[in-house]
Amino acid sequence: MPQLSMHSPIGDLTLTEEDGAIVALDWGWGRDQDETPLLRLTCDRLDAYFDGAADNFADLPLAPYGTPYRQAVWQALRAIPPGETRTYRDLAEQVGGSPRSIGQANGANPIPILIPCHRVVATQGLGGYSGDGGVTDKIYLLELEGAQIPGVARQDA
């Protein structure tokens, strides 16, 4: 499977493509680098995103591996606009399951940022984040998008 790595403000990221779709975004620099048009486009879009261009990445072909329930959760995440958040409870009411099962699906998300699990927060507070920097990365991504973050004073305020 082709992979391409990039530097970002939250650390090195590696994208993986299979059968014309992105299947993973991992923290760290990948061993093998094999640029394809889709991987180059996605890296360029991520660079623009980190430079402040709002992007929901909705038109990128993504094919995460997961159960039908997790697929439904990840599809709901893709519908959350940049700069907005939803609670685990909101998504549980929308997709089914419980806030805990939504959190588990978020934690298993193989394509973070592009499938924006960082936009899901707890009813009171932030909740967790599976990125290398944990909640610090979540706060960075939400602030980058201009989201109101529960319990966190904006850095630019």
Reported as a single tens digit per residue, the pLDDT across 81-133 is: 999 999 999 999 999 999 999 999 999 999 999 999 999 999 888 888 877 88
Could you tell me the pTM of the whole model?
0.91
Q: Is residue 42 part of a domain?
A: yes
72/42 same-domain check: no
Domain presence at residue 120: yes
Whether 129 and 82 map to the same domain: the answer is: yes
Residue 87 pairs with which residues in a beta bridge?
Answer: 121
pLDDT of residue 153: 52
Residues 73, 29 within the same domain? no
Enclosing domain of residue 73: 68-145
> 46 and 19, same structural domain?
yes
Residue 131: how many other CB atoms lie within 10 Å: 21
For residues 138 and 151, give the distance between their C-alpha atoms in angstroms, rounded to a whole number.
13
Residues serving a catalytic function are 117
Same domain, 141 and 73: yes
Query: Number of folded domains in the chain?
Result: 2
